[in-house]
Structures are given as structure tokens and as C-alpha cells.
Amino acid sequence: MGEQFDKADRGANPAKHASPEDDLLVIVRELARELHAQRGGFTDVSLSSRLERDLGIDSLGRTELISRIERAFRVRLPVETIGMADTVGDLLEAVQQAAPHRRIAHDEGVIAPPLPQASAAAEAWTLTEALDWHVAQHPDRLHLTILQDDLAEGGTLTYGELAQAARLVAAGLIERDIAPGDRVALMLPTGRDFFIAFFGILYAGAAPVPIYPPMQLSQIEEHLRRQAGILRNAGARILVTMPEALRLAGLLRGQTPSLDAIETVAGLAAQASSVKLPVVDAGAVALLQYTSGSTGDPKGVALSHANLLSNIRAIGQAMGASSADVFVSWLPLYHDMGLIGAWLGSLYFAAPLYVMSPLSFLVRPESWLWAMHRFRATLSASPNFGFELCLNKIDDVDLQGLDLSALRLIANGAEPVSAGTLRRFIEKFGHYGFRPEAMAPAYGLAENAVGLAFPPLGRQPVIDRVDRDALTRRGLALPARADDANPLEIVACGQPLQGHEIRIVDEVGHEVGERCEGRLEFRGPSATSGYFRNEAKTRELFRDGWLDSGDRAYMAGGDVYITGRNKDIIIRAGRHIYPQELEAAIGDVPGVCKGGVAAFGVTDRASGTERVVVLAETRETDAFARAALQTRANEVASGIAGAPPDEIVFAPLGTTPKTSSGKVRRSAAKELYERGQIGAPPRALRWQILRLSLAGFGARMRRLSQLFGEIFYAAWWWSVMAPSILFCWLAVMSFPRLAWRWAALRRIARLAFATVGAPLSVSGADRVPRGNAILAFNHASYVDAFILAAVLPGEPAFVAKKELGGQFFAGPFLRRLGVLFVERYDMAASLADAGIAIAAAQQGRVLVFFPEGSFTRRAGLSDFYLGAFKAAAEANLPVFPGVLRGTRSMLRADQWFPRRASISVEIADPIAPSGTDFPSVLRLRDEVRKAMLARCGEPDLGELVKPAPPQSSGRIVD
């Protein structure tokens, strides 16, 4: 292996026959010396040296290190090496086990499996319906292929396989008490488990909350702190993660009170049982997409199934998408562009998707291009930095034979689009078949699912040259003169998607004219209904039916041009300074790390104006070299902002905070600057874990206190209920008259519930007549009958299953109360018992039914037996729908641990039978069930499939 080492690549001159170990040490030492030149000429490196703690090689440094090792040893290292390798010895082991690198020649290995044409899931109202539609039409059709770099080695999923595996996960979630509307977090890398878990959560009626897994252990403290804030805001019940992360994910439980369990996909599927899956509503939340940014106030964009499908359809129309397309993606699945645009869009249109890990792209950006070559991709997408990475990190020798001519559209969005990047990418990759009209600068945001504006098909990118002074001082995007040497170049990001609207408004909310800059507002069927559990931010989002994008822009010729973020614009001497332009220009200065620059404004307390501060990463540590860098950076900045920045802070590589999708976090950079923590070394892993553990101590103590409180309440509950039940039994067995028995039972039950702090709220009891009526209630708990005994007037006749009549304690007690027993399973006996119930109803008794027959742990209204409705039809008596709420929370099925809950009983208006024939009985059952569903606050468990409503209800599930 050592003989394959290329001296020219490593920049050193080891012994001619050096071993792989020596060669690797040279590479690591050379990089460490470059990163930390201030440490002196020699850097001690051994196999036991830790990359982060001892050598200071952070995430960006690791990416560079992997690239150098691969070039030197002519191997392909697993991308997991970036995050998992802790020591230089770990890298050596990875090199020794790695497969040799082999370039692909022109047309070699081209894989384009022909698939028959298929229709999109146009009739679907939910994502689960879309998947089920494809399963019904073509279960064996290839849906997606998971790539290891550009090689199809990560497995495949057909539509049928995805649905089958996801349903097992859904059943496992339901077994763990996940109910419709609950939130389930996903912390999984790109792979089969993510896709299966996502749809498993949807099939369970819950809302997925994707969060990104840590790339490396050295970042664990910041990472888990960020995720804990998201999980708390979402109220996530379960976190689904990979087996390797279970121990680390456990640190989150101490900081997230709502988190009941941490599971793997295999664990959920292994314990699945045969349960009915809930009906999914088009207006239900299908995704909580947390926007990148501050951890202190997480903003979870609530998107319904209707929102997502509206956006997918509109984007598909703009792109001309169909099953004939092939999509290749490296985009993260926890980000809207990768999750919705790439995956769910491909699923809807039946276009095969080839997806690779983002790490594969970051280490080897050419793997994305070669994957598009091999699978004849027609569609793809990337933020602007992805195109920059292809321009700056790929050697021409690694592009020999590349053919991108199959690409008809590649979206550039999710961050500001650079005119220079577009030109250079089109020019360079035009030599490899890439056509200019395939580049599609687009605009979107999580609050509108993913896309909002798209350019017309077949149009080359449009770049607007505007007068810098007119825009920055007066907010007017006037075309620059032909001889203007310093114009602003702004890329057109397309026109609003079909059915969506964009307007530009001034500071008081009035719409402005053509080429006037202002705040971009939007509306349409894809727009969110708000931020989850964040009413203050939701109120800020909406204005007169429009949503505030947070971006500044202008319109010209029907296209939208984005000029920057409202919160990021720096105003100095009345002039608007756009930080992204300043960052790009300074990033081009030789010696400054491109992509490692953050510009922000800091208020000068003395003058009250904003100071312009630039944080720039560099490897330079020599004072003279830094002074030269500063001079050049000031010159560049002056040409853009009219004056140099007030301060340029140079810092080591990896200092600039970034979001999970690679965007610069300017607000976080500003916080680092104001706290004086720029360039501070990361804490050791053990201290990070200790701090995280201590951070969760208070939450654990609160949980412990809550647990003791719950145990005390349960003990108190039983100490009251057990004697009360005994007193009820003695009174009922002793009193000679039925009315006395019921009066005693009613008083004891009311006193018992008052004593345990469970107030009974009753409405509609005055509707119940003294006789000649039937009451039908939902059945949720062991205490349901006791509750009704406390609140129903008179001497009602409960209809119970026959098994209770044979019990030693309960049987005589229930008979003394006039309970009617019916057979549920023997048909002949059941018909006879129904006749008894009908006779009792005709004699003037008020019958009380639980038409579900029994109850389960799972929340929801089950199928109804027909006995109550046949009795009502035969006796021509009205049925009063009744609803119990709170009893399931107090004492669920299969447990005897009561919990504090408020109980309500509501009795609705009566529903009269329309006849005695079978259709009339069914109609009566359905009307009563509909009335109960509307009031019980629980999902419908009686059907597996039913049509979804045609539009979103616009609510946020809480």
C-alpha cells in the first residue's frame, strides 16, 4: 500500500520505501502544521494522537485530511471515517481496509434501468395515500436506491417494500402508545431506516420531526443542546435513532421531559402487532420542519399533508416532472430541499431516486457528478455552496469521461445564489455536456414547504446588473449603466409557482412597484399555518393574510430577485450593506478560507450606529501575513460597501458557525464575537458529556419529583376508591329498593371522585328523559361505568357483556342494579338477549350501551356493535349520543396505575330511528357514531381507509 503513495500529492519527501504508517503520519503532520502554524515547526504525531484533542483537526480539517489520504493512497475511505475516527491509528486501519480507487472511463458502468411509464399519485390527499396508490398500481417498481458515493451499494427500496416495512414501524409506534397528532423525532443518517421510519410515523398518524445526527463526537455538546431545544419545543414522545447513537441520545432524556423512549427502527418493527392504522387527515401535520438558526427559540414550521402535496404538485408542474425523470441527490434528509424536493417529490411522480450521504459529497464532490453520469440523471438540486465545492475541490483528471448531457434541470436554491458561481459552473461543466438552460436558480423557504418561485423551463439564468448606490441608498434596483465598473449582480430566482402569490411591501405594509426593494410576502396552498407552539413568532409571520418571508427582494419582469435577509442587512450611514456579497468578496482573497467568512453588524453604544464586523477564517498565523490579508480584505470591502469594515477578525479554520445545511450562522458568529469566544478551543469530550449531564440534572430532578407525586396520587386514589367500591357493594346488596340502591351508588361515586381531585363536568344530562330512551357512550376505561353511575339520573339499565354476570363479586352486584347481560359471540344467544333488551326498552327503561363492547389502551373510537341501534329501532326510541373524556387518561386498559385527570360527560341531542329495517339500523348507528366522533377528541379506529378532505383544515396539532 505504501508504494502507491504519491509524493507530489503529500507535499513531503519521506523515505523512498516508507511504510503506510510513516506515509500517513507525514500527511497528518503536514496538515496539522498548516492548521496550527503558531505551534512551531515540528508537530508530534503518533498513531495514538487524537485528531481533535491533540492535533486540533476539526470537521473541515477532517474533510481535507480524508481527501489528501485518498489521493495519496489511491483508495476510497468510508465516509463514516470522518466522524468515527478518533485517532491517527483509526485512520490507518481504515486505509488498510479500504478499497482501491478506480476512475470510471467514458460510458463505463452507465446504469440506467429502463422503467415503464407511470402516473403520478394525482388522486392522493395525503402522503400515505400517495404511497398506497403506488403500491396498488406497481408494488415492485423501483422507488429509490441508496448510494455509497456514486456506487449503487447501499440497497434499494420498491414502493411495496417501503410501505410494508413502514407499516411494521407504525404498529410498533402504536404499541408504544403513539397516538395521532403526537410528534416522533428522527435522528438518522441517509439510509433505509430513515425512509422507513418517516413513513412509519406518518402511518401511525404522528408527525415526524427530522433532526440531524452528529457528524463527530467532538461536536456532541453543541449538537445535543441544539436538538434538546427542538425536542422540547416539539414535545417529541419518541426519538428514533441508529443503534450506535442510543447511548448518546440518552443524554437528551434528561433535558426533554416529553421524551418517553429512544428506539431503533429494528426495535420498533420487532415488537409490532396487528393493529389497525388510523385514518390520516389531509389537514393533519405531516412534518415539523425546524428552520436553521438560533437554538434559544426553535421555530418548527408545521406543514400539513395538503401543504406538502400542493407544493410538490406545483414544483412538479414548473419542472415538467414525470416518471420518466431520474433524480440524483446528496442533499440531507433533515432539510426541506432533500426531504420534500428530492425524496417526496420523486415518490409522488414515480421517478426513481438515487440518494447518497451528504458526507460522501463533502469528501468527494465528484461522486455527485459521477452518480448523475452513471444513472443518467435528468433532475437534481443543490445549494449554491455545492456548486462552489465542485468548482474548487475537483481535479480535472477526476472528470475525464464525465457526461452530464442527460440533465435537463438542476435547481440552485436554499441559500443566496451567486452570479459568479453560475457563470463558472456553466463554463467549466459545459465541457462535460452540461447545458446552461439546465441551471435553474430558484427561491423557497420552509414556511412554504420548500419552493415558492421557479424559472421557466428551458431558460438560461438571468442576471440583473443594478446600480449599487441606487439600491443600497434608495432601495431602487435601477439597471446599471454599461460602463458601470462596480454594479451589483443579482440572480433572477423565477416566478411564483402556480396557485401561489408573491408581493413586495414597504415598512408599513404597502405594496411597492416594479424594481422597488422591500419585504417579500407570500401566500398560497403550500403556506404553513404557523410555528408549532410558538404563538409569538406565528403572530409575527402573518400580516393581513400574507406571510412574511423575512427576506428583502424586488420584482422585475415577473421574476423575483432576492437581495438579502431582513435581520442580516447592515445599515451604516443610511446605506444597506448586504453581508453575503461582502462575505463572498472577502472569501475570494487568497489566504482567506472561502465559505468561512461571516459579516454582521454590531451596535456601537457610543454613537448608536452599526459597526461592520467581519469574521474570516485563515491558516495564516504570521503577523506580517495577516496584516497583508487585512489590507487586501479592506480594499475588497471598500469597493463593495464604500468603506472598509470597522473590524476584521481572523480566526482558525472551523470557527465560523454554520447550520446543518452549510449556511453561515451570522447571529451565532455575532454572539461569539460579543462574548469574546472567537477561536476558543473546544472542550474535551468528557467535559462536554459532563456538562450535558449536569444540564439535564434539574430536569431529571423535576421528573423524579413528578414520579413521586404520581406514585403518591395513585396510592391516594386506590385508598379512596377501594373503600368506596366496598361501600357501594354493601349498600346495593342491602337496600331493598332499586331507587335506594342507585341513590346510594350515585352519592358514594360523586364523593369518591371529589375526594381524589377528579372534578366531574356534566353537560346535557337534562336532555335525558326518565324513561323510554337509549344512551350510547364511548368506552375508554375501567372507570367509565362508575362515572356514569355518578352523573346519570334515575335508575338506568346498563347493558353489559354476559361474562360479568358470572363473576362472584360483580355478578350479584350488577343484577341488583338492574343490569342487562348480553351475549357477544354466540349468535343464537345474542339474538335472544337483544330481544330482552328491546323488551326492557319498550317497558320504559333507560338503557345505557357501550356500543364498542370493550376498550383498549389505544386512543380512538372503535367499531360499533349493532345491538343498541337494533333495540332503538325496534322500540322506536331515540338514541342519545354520549361522550366521556378524560377517563382513558385516568386509568388505561392493561394497567392499574391511576393518574390525575379532569373528567367530562357530554350528552348530545337525540337521534331518532328512521325505520326498523337493516339499512335504517345501520344509518342510525352511523349518525350516532358521527356525533360521538365529533365530540370525543379521539381518532376514528373503525376504518382503515376513507377519502381525505379536499383541503387543509389549517390547524396546528398541539
Q: Contact, 612 vs 601, CB < 8 A? A: yes
Pairing type for strands 903-907 and 846-849 reads unpaired
User: Distance between CA atoms of 709 and 891, rounded to whole angstroms?
Assistant: 16
User: Distance between CA atoms of 420 and 26, rounded to whole angstroms?
Assistant: 37
Per mean pLDDT, which range of 170-174, 382-386, 799-803 is the poorest? 799-803
Per mean pLDDT, which range of 242-246, 391-395, 412-416, 566-570 is the poorest? 566-570
Sheet holding 610-618, edge to edge: 592-603, 610-618, 647-651
The pLDDT of residue 822 is 72
Q: How far is CA 140 from CA 129, 159, 193, 541, in A?
A: 17, 6, 19, 43
Instruction: Name the residue among 853, 642, 816, 801 with its Cα closest to residue 731.
Output: 816
Predicted confidence band of residue 949 (pLDDT cuts 50, 70, 90): very low
Flag whether pLDDT at 943 surpasses 80. Answer: no
Q: How far is CA 6 from the centre of its chain?
A: 44
User: Distance between CA atoms of 601 and 598, rounded to whole angstroms?
Assistant: 10
User: Distance between CA atoms of 837 and 845, rounded to whole angstroms?
Assistant: 9
Instruction: Name the residue among 585, 611, 616 with its Cα closest to residue 600.
Output: 611
Instruction: Name the residue among 205, 282, 284 with its Cα closest to residue 956.
Output: 284
Per mean pLDDT, which range of 451-460, 489-498, 614-623 is the poorest? 614-623
* Beta-ladder partners of 146: 355
Total residues belonging to the chain:
958
Alpha-helical regions (H) of 850-906: 867-875, 887-890
Q: Which residue has the higher pLDDT, 694 or 755?
A: 755
Q: Tell me the one-letter amino acid at 838.
A: I
CATH 3.40.50.12780 domain extents, the chain: 127-451
With 0-12 / 13-18 / 19 or more C-beta atoms within 10 angstroms meaning exposed / middle / buried, residue 807 is exposed
**DSSP states of 631-655 as a string?**
HHHHHHHHHHHSS--SEEEEE-TT-
Per mean pLDDT, which range of 228-242, 603-617, 686-700, 856-870 is the poorest? 686-700
Flag whether pLDDT at 684 surpasses 60. Answer: no
The pLDDT of residue 606 is 52
The stretch 273-298 carries a mean pLDDT of: 79
The pLDDT of residue 41 is 52
Q: Which residue has the higher pLDDT, 222 or 426?
A: 426
Flag whether pLDDT at 335 surpasses 90. Answer: no
The third-level CATH classification (topology) of the domain covering 464-566 is: Luciferase; domain 3 (2.30.38)
Q: Which residue has the higher pLDDT, 45 or 122?
A: 122
User: Distance between CA atoms of 810 and 199, rounded to whole angstroms?
Assistant: 45
User: Distance between CA atoms of 376 and 371, rounded to whole angstroms?
Assistant: 8
pLDDT tens-digit map of 622-670: 777 788 888 888 877 776 666 677 788 888 777 777 765 566 777 777 7
The one-character DSSP state at 276 is P
User: Distance between CA atoms of 659 and 636, rounded to whole angstroms?
Assistant: 26
Flag whether pLDDT at 108 surpasses 80. Answer: no
User: Distance between CA atoms of 26 and 14, rounded to whole angstroms?
Assistant: 8
Flag whether pLDDT at 142 surpasses 90. Answer: yes
State which H helix or E strand residue 399 sits in. Answer: none
638: which residues sit within 8 A by CB, 6+ positions away? Answer: 644
CATH 2.30.38.10 domain extents, the chain: 464-566
Cβ atoms within 10 A of the Cβ of 154, count?
A: 19
Q: How far is CA 855 from CA 407, 724, 749, 903, in A?
A: 56, 24, 21, 17
Query: Which sign, positive or negative, has the C-alpha torsion 916, 921, 927, 933?
Result: positive
User: pTM for this structure?
Assistant: 0.73
Q: Contact, 70 vs 99, CB < 8 A? A: no
pLDDT tens-digit map of 396-434: 888 998 999 999 999 998 888 889 999 999 999 999 999
The pLDDT of residue 266 is 93
The pLDDT of residue 427 is 96
244: which residues sit within 8 A by CB, 6+ positions away? Answer: none
The mean pLDDT value of the chain amounts to 82
Question: What is the homologous superfamily of the domain 2-100 according to CATH?
Answer: ACP-like (1.10.1200.10)
The pLDDT of residue 226 is 67
User: Distance between CA atoms of 28 and 34, rounded to whole angstroms?
Assistant: 10
Q: Which residue has the cell 485517532?
A: 87
Residue 460, CA atoms < 13 Å, CB-side half-sphere:
12
Which residues in 614-632 are b (16+ Cβ under 10 Å) and which e?
A: bbbbbbbeeeeeeeebbee
The pLDDT of residue 628 is 81
Q: How far is CA 299 from the centre of its chain?
A: 12
Per mean pLDDT, which range of 634-643, 711-720, 794-803 is the poorest? 634-643
pLDDT tens-digit map of 858-909: 777 888 887 788 888 888 888 999 999 988 888 877 778 888 888 999 999 9
User: Distance between CA atoms of 45 and 88, rounded to whole angstroms?
Assistant: 8
Is the domain defined by 572-695 classed in CATH 2.10.77.10?
Answer: no
User: Distance between CA atoms of 630 and 628, rounded to whole angstroms?
Assistant: 5
Q: Contact, 354 vs 145, CB < 8 A? A: yes
* Beta-ladder partners of 261: 238
The pLDDT of residue 119 is 92
The stretch 539-552 carries a mean pLDDT of: 92
CATH 3.30.300.30 domain extents, the chain: 572-695
User: Distance between CA atoms of 30 and 41, rounded to whole angstroms?
Assistant: 10
The one-character DSSP state at 554 is E
The pLDDT of residue 303 is 96
Q: Tell me the one-letter amino acid at 247.
A: R
Cβ atoms within 10 A of the Cβ of 183, count?
A: 24
Predicted confidence band of residue 794 (pLDDT cuts 50, 70, 90): confident
The third-level CATH classification (topology) of the domain covering 709-936 is: Glycerol-3-phosphate (1)-acyltransferase (3.40.1130)
The pLDDT of residue 6 is 40
User: Distance between CA atoms of 288 and 290, rounded to whole angstroms?
Assistant: 6
Percentage of residues in the chain having pLDDT higher than 90: 35
Instruction: Name the residue among 655, 703, 471 with its Cα closest to residue 569.
Output: 471
The pLDDT of residue 295 is 43
State which H helix or E strand residue 455 sits in. Answer: none
The pLDDT of residue 222 is 57
Q: Contact, 652 vs 70, CB < 8 A? A: no
Flag whether pLDDT at 14 surpasses 50. Answer: no
With 0-12 / 13-18 / 19 or more C-beta atoms within 10 angstroms meaning exposed / middle / buried, residue 396 is exposed
CATH 3.40.1130.10 domain extents, the chain: 709-936
597: which residues sit within 8 A by CB, 6+ positions away? Answer: 582, 583, 584, 586, 587, 614, 615, 616, 617, 656, 664
Query: DSSP strand E in 834-929: where?
Result: 846-849, 879-885, 903-907
The pLDDT of residue 473 is 83
pLDDT tens-digit map of 723-734: 998 998 898 889
Alpha-helical regions (H) of 282-382: 305-319, 336, 345-349, 358-363, 366-374
Decide which of 3.40.190.170, 3.40.50.2300, 3.40.50.12780, 3.30.420.10 is the CATH code for 127-451: 3.40.50.12780
Flag whether pLDDT at 221 surpasses 60. Answer: no
Q: Tell me the one-letter amino acid at 801.
A: K
The pLDDT of residue 703 is 63
pLDDT tens-digit map of 830-871: 445 556 666 776 676 788 888 888 777 677 788 888 778 888
C-alpha cell at 482: 454599461
The pLDDT of residue 607 is 47
Flag whether pLDDT at 680 surpasses 60. Answer: no
Predicted confidence band of residue 95 (pLDDT cuts 50, 70, 90): confident
The pLDDT of residue 369 is 95
The pLDDT of residue 665 is 74
The pLDDT of residue 459 is 94
CATH 1.10.1200.10 domain extents, the chain: 2-100
Q: How far is CA 507 from CA 510, 552, 570, 750, 841, in A?
A: 8, 11, 16, 60, 70
Provide φ and ψ at 180, rounded to 5°. -55, 135
State which H helix or E strand residue 588 sits in. Answer: none
pLDDT winner (highest mean) among 72-81, 183-192, 607-616 = 183-192
C-alpha cell at 773: 330512551
